[in-house]
Amino acid sequence: MSDGLLDPEAALRLILAACVALPAEDVAPDAALGRVLAEAVIAPETLPPFDNSAMDGYALAGGSAPLPAGSEWMITGEQAAGDGIAQGGAGAISIMTGARVPDGLDRVIPLEQTERLDAPPRVRLKAAVAAGDNLRRAGSDVAQGEAVLAARTLLATNHLMLLAALGVARVRVAARPRVAVLCTGRELVDAVNVALTPGQIRNSNGPYLAAALPRAGAALVYRETVGDTVEPFLAALARAREAGARVLLSTGAVSMGQYDFVPEALERLGAQVIFHKLAIRPGKPLLFARLPDGTLFFGLPGNPMAVAVGLRFFVEPALRAMLGLPREMPWRVPLAADYVKKSRLRFHLKARVAMDPQGRLGAWVLDGQESYRIRSLAAANAWVVIPAEVNALCAGDLVDVYGPGHLASPNTSGSTA
């Protein structure tokens, strides 16, 4: 594009070309929440594992014919949840919800549809009951050998319930990309319990990235705040690499000012700068490089919203590729109000997706879009992306909408299948 600014889609293609899917590893389900399956999970057992009762009542046998209302049956035993194999007979077995149905019995009548009689103990049916009534058949939920979770599934709590019910001991998941964060700027203060002196600001980028990266599927292995000179930055970068980082994120020092030293530091490392400066807002000075050993480096501008956009739209797609996930697909949502922009850049706008009073879904662009404004990000639950070639949109026009994080979006697979 003009002014030496690279088109963001071209930049993303360059990023993805530098990414390699990471190897898989086996973990226990208890450690798998938020991980991406590298291969399908095959059921090792049936679910339910045996025929069991759907309610408290009496288990009976009757062949193909319904047992009629008014018939009476001798009570010959009882079966509680947790009881093992039992043999049924010609009478009725008192049974609890979830209890294994005794062998030879083929139906259950609910307790409230019966009348208990004594001398001798027996039960009178107040309704007819047919074969299979109120039974949960073995394997009716899951058959042994069935694929129950597909590869690329992001494991959530509902998946862990299924894995536990099936007795799955290990799952194969994509390894987490190992990421380090280096925040630059002698004005930054990490401690929250100290008063600021003139010229200082609190470091909001570091805590933001430290919280966001694990939610994006990465392992944060190192984090440090450094000043505005090359040597301390190179030393911190070496410590990050020693910690095992294969993706490095820095904030600040990538623009054109006197203290914007990151390009010099990368040159001294022998890194290949793949691009520097994009046709986007916010985050135009974003830099992407590859170190001689293949480590990827993202130089994010220092303003908080430039950091948020750089992470969401350039770092997270790289993480997706490393996790073996396809490219993310945006939602298409009607814009709630007119929007006009002057610059021919791709805009990333803090937004809220919500229902209007008539129950229609819409995307509201929030006030406070400047790159230093954090409060509006706290109010956002989505991003609206406006292409560079679009200058004006009307209420009702469909726009591309992305969730707050790529793994927080409903459609992580890239398709509706």
Residue 31 domain-assigned (yes or no): no
In the prediction, which pLDDT does 255 show?
A: 85
Is the pTM of the predicted complex or chain greater than 0.85?
yes
In the prediction, which pLDDT does 409 show?
A: 65
Q: Are both 106 and 10 inside the same structural domain?
A: no
| Domain count along the chain | 4
Residue 383 domain-assigned (yes or no): yes
Identify the domain boundary among 154, 174, 194: 174
In the prediction, which pLDDT does 369 show?
A: 95
In the prediction, which pLDDT does 412 show?
A: 38
Identify the domain boundary among 298, 322, 346: 322
Q: For the purposes of burial, counting CB atoms within 10 Å of the CB of 245, is it exposed (0-12), middle (13-18) or buried (19 or more)?
A: buried
> Are the C-beta atoms of residues 74 and 121 closer than 8 Å to each other?
yes
Q: Are both 219 and 289 inside the same structural domain?
A: yes
Residue 34 domain-assigned (yes or no): no
Residue 411 domain-assigned (yes or no): no
Q: Are both 62 and 126 inside the same structural domain?
A: yes
Residues pairing with 332 in the sheet: 400
Residue ranges in the chain whose pLDDT is less than 70: 1-2, 409-417
In the prediction, which pLDDT does 158 show?
A: 97
Query: Which is it for strands 346-355 and 280-281: parallel, antiparallel or unpaired?
Result: parallel
Residue 417 domain-assigned (yes or no): no
Q: Are both 283 and 218 inside the same structural domain?
A: yes
In the prediction, which pLDDT does 33 show?
A: 96
In the prediction, which pLDDT does 342 show?
A: 87
Residue 33 domain-assigned (yes or no): no
We report the CATH number of the domain holding residue 78 as 2.170.190.11
Average pLDDT, the chain: 95
Q: Are both 10 and 75 inside the same structural domain?
A: no
In the prediction, which pLDDT does 414 show?
A: 40
Residue 158 domain-assigned (yes or no): yes
In the prediction, which pLDDT does 256 show?
A: 73
Q: Are both 155 and 293 inside the same structural domain?
A: no
Q: Are both 165 and 240 inside the same structural domain?
A: no
In the prediction, which pLDDT does 79 show?
A: 97
Residue 259 domain-assigned (yes or no): yes
We report the CATH number of the domain holding residue 316 as 3.40.980.10
Where in the sequence is the domain holding 73, given as residue range(s)?
Answer: 52-136
Distance CA 134, CA 75 (A): 19
Q: What is the DSSP letter of 197?
A: P
Q: Are both 196 and 309 inside the same structural domain?
A: yes
Q: What is the pLDDT of residues 195-248, one digit of tens each?
A: 999 999 999 999 999 999 999 999 999 999 999 999 999 999 999 999 999 999
